[in-house]
Structure 1
Amino acid sequence: MAAKEKTGNAFVETIKTIVYALLIAGVFRTLFFQPFWIPSGSMKETLLIGDFLFVNKMAYGYSYASCPSLMMPGLGIEIDAKDVCGVFDGDNERLFGRQPERGDVVVFRHPVSGRDYIKRLIGLPGEKIQIKEGVVHINGTPVELRDDGSFDEVMAPQGPQGLRPRCENGALGVGGVCKKSRQIETLPNGVEHAILNIADQQSDRTGVYTVPEGHYFFMGDNRDNSADSRLAQQVGGVGFVPFENLIGRADRIMFSSAGRSMLYFWTWRSDRFFKAVR
């Protein structure tokens, strides 16, 4: 009888330990840092497919979007942030709220789909944004650009989805060198970052976007391969993003996998450990 009691007590203690660990992890992820794995190439070369980073959730304060989502359709698990913290949705306010800075690389919740996106903050509330011949204009003034060679990568399937990069030098076979023109963009507050160009396309010439109060305008650094604020939410873009939808700021890459899974440690990129996101 004593042996059964010990076995039962050990099982209960194990369950308690697991529950406590999950609660601690949930609090940590909600309040401090959220893991994020880059699934697409819209932020190249700043962020590559397979980069694994932690998002600083303290940077802008907290809103309903700070609550973690758990989406595992294959297991029938789809717990959305609104399911947990939806009571705080709708006022576009944040607890301990701090305004983001232009040039920040931000993870935010898509206003319609609820999926997490990561882009660079380009336009602030009240500003007028327009793209003319591929150059961003803020309140009628073009940002500074300077040519900086090219971004080269091998044509091959990338990430778990096997995505193939788009190339400025045309269609290539596997193993070819895929090139994109590289420029350094300097925003009005002095933030510098690389942007890539692939082709002359419609998104290089837009009308004027007037950013509503309490909203932000985001763009991907891989300018011709990014669904961002240049497209309305209803046609695959993100449109203007409300303040309350910001999740946090991407500050540093922890490691990066060039393979199909981040668990394939032999494919980790040696030059990206603890690399700052700029």
Structure 2
Amino acid sequence: MQQWKQRLSRAALLGLMAIPVGLIAIYLINPRNVPSLDPRLRILGISVYRIPAGDMMPEFVANQVVVVRTAYNDRHGPQRGDIVVFRESRSGYAWIKRVVGLPGEQLEIHQGQLLIDGTRVAEPYLLPANTQTDYSTEFARHVVADGSYFLLGDNRDRSEDSRIFGAVPQQAMIAKVIFKLEPHGAE
């Protein structure tokens, strides 16, 4: 009986040691190829992200918290309308924007209307008050490179996005927003 208890306790101890070793291995191997050092994203494939500014209003407000998931990028690429977190190459920071242009598409903004391959795209998430300046109402025709996505903020007047830094390569995509928490103080 004593020998059985010793074997059981050794097995339990080995099991407990295997868990952190396994988690460290998963983190280092990074099977999801997440361009982030966040262990929640690399190990679990899910994390939270705080919206840093108002460039995604009205969908999100500054300091609102969202839940993001990485695995969607493994099965298929980002789709038009997805809201994604990505690593912006100039600053190295994680940013959040909406996917509006897919690889190979011809995109332009004319008189405030987003056109993809010459066809108007409905954008019900935009507020007219957020698209008043020339910066928001006109953007010259641009072809999205293969393997890249054109990302825009919903608050077009106040968003630094692909109109400035260009299309974002898929490998810079960290995660997709899957859930948003109500802003603090919201009723």
CA distance in 2: counterparts of 1:229 and 1:198, whole angstroms: 16
Distance 1:194 1:205, change over 3 A: closer
SS in 2 for 1:250: strand
Report the residue type matching 1:121 in the other structure. V
The answer to whether residue 183 in structure 2 is matched with residue 256 in structure 1 is: yes
- Report the counterpart of residue 35 of structure 2 in structure 1: none
Which structure 2 residues correspond to residues 23-172 of structure 1 after superposition, within 5 A? 27-30=39-42, 31-61=44-74, 97-144=75-122
- Structure with the higher helix share, 1 or 2: 2
- Report the counterpart of residue 83 of structure 1 in structure 2: none
CA distance in 1: counterparts of 2:186 and 2:73, whole angstroms: 30
CA distance in 1: counterparts of 2:78 and 2:84, whole angstroms: 9
Report the residue type matching 2:186 in the other structure. R
Q: Report percent identity of matched pairs.
A: 34
Which structure 2 residues correspond to residues 194-213 of structure 1 after superposition, within 5 A? 194-196=126-128, 197-213=130-146
- Report the counterpart of residue 215 of structure 1 in structure 2: 148
Report the residue type matching 2:176 in the other structure. R
Report the residue type matching 1:241 in the other structure. V
CA distance in 2: counterparts of 1:195 and 1:107, whole angstroms: 22
Distance 1:28 1:198, change over 3 A: closer
- Report the counterpart of residue 264 of structure 1 in structure 2: none
Do the aligned residues in 2 keep the contact of 1:60 with 1:100 (CA within 8 Å)? yes
Distance 1:247 1:220, change over 3 A: same
* Deviation at residue 198 of structure 1 after TM alignment: 4.8
Distance 1:255 1:143, change over 3 A: closer
- Report the counterpart of residue 193 of structure 1 in structure 2: 125
Report the residue type matching 2:46 in the other structure. F
Do the aligned residues in 2 keep the contact of 1:54 with 1:253 (CA within 8 Å)? yes
Do the aligned residues in 2 keep the contact of 1:111 with 1:242 (CA within 8 Å)? no
CA distance in 1: counterparts of 2:89 and 2:110, whole angstroms: 26
Distance 1:194 1:206, change over 3 A: closer
Do the aligned residues in 2 keep the contact of 1:128 with 1:138 (CA within 8 Å)? yes
- Report the counterpart of residue 186 of structure 2 in structure 1: 269
CA distance in 2: counterparts of 1:36 and 1:27, whole angstroms: 13
SS in 1 for 2:78: coil
Deviations 1:220-240 (A, max 9, x none): 111111111111x2xxxxx11
Do the aligned residues in 2 keep the contact of 1:203 with 1:230 (CA within 8 Å)? no
